[in-house]
Amino acid sequence: MPIFILLAFIIVPVVEIAVFIQLGGEIGLWNTIFLIFLTAIIGSWMLRRQGLATLQRAQESLARQVFPVAEVFDGLCLVVAGILLLTPGFVTDAIGFLLFLPFIRLVLRTWIWKTLARSENARVWVNAEHPTAPSSSQSDTIDGEFRDITPEKSSNDTKLPPHRDNQS
């Protein structure tokens, strides 16, 4: 994974510079700069619009006492899309605009969900009605592991007298 991030930090700027040079030669410097600002403005508008809609869906899910897994993932995708759109470059803008498409987010969410389900390091419970959301169990049982960290009492520990609110 670290090598992937390193390659991304090297390859993405090189590709963006190549696209700037090519596009600037085709449409001119000022038109290229105008397009950069235009994509940032459109991206900010779309981020605000879809972000508020996602927040509203998350609040509705919480009101129904359902954890908004899809909405949290969509919100994360929208944050990444906003960052990509505010970063100067046409390749990052294209990826950012793709993340604004609900179908692309659904495909990405499904792929990540299936990858996590196959992982030995993650446990996933799937509700048959909503394959991307965890199931809401009616049971009050929580499965987990614990370790007792209660400190052992030493002989120097003394019992304090009970607290009294009204002392006269």
In a domain, 149, yes or no: no
Query: Has residue 3 been placed in a domain?
Result: no
Dist CA 56 CA 133 (whole Å): 17
In a domain, 48, yes or no: yes
Residue range of the domain that includes 107: 10-118
Q: Specify if 99 maps to a domain.
A: yes
What's the CA gap between 26 and 44, in Å, rounded?
A: 27
Higher per-residue confidence, 148 vs 164: 148
Q: Say if 154 falls within a structural domain.
A: no
pLDDT band with cut points at 50, 70 and 90 for residue 104: very high
- Residue 150 has what pLDDT? 77
In a domain, 94, yes or no: yes
**Domain total of the chain:** 1
pLDDT at 34 over 60: yes
Mean pLDDT rounded to a whole number for the chain: 81
State how far the Cα of 106 lies from the Cα of 111, in Å rounded to an integer.
Answer: 8
Q: Is residue 89 part of a domain?
A: yes
In a domain, 67, yes or no: yes
* 128 or 50: which leads in pLDDT: 50
pLDDT tens digits for 7-29? 888 898 899 999 999 999 999 98
> Which is higher by pLDDT, 134 or 7?
7
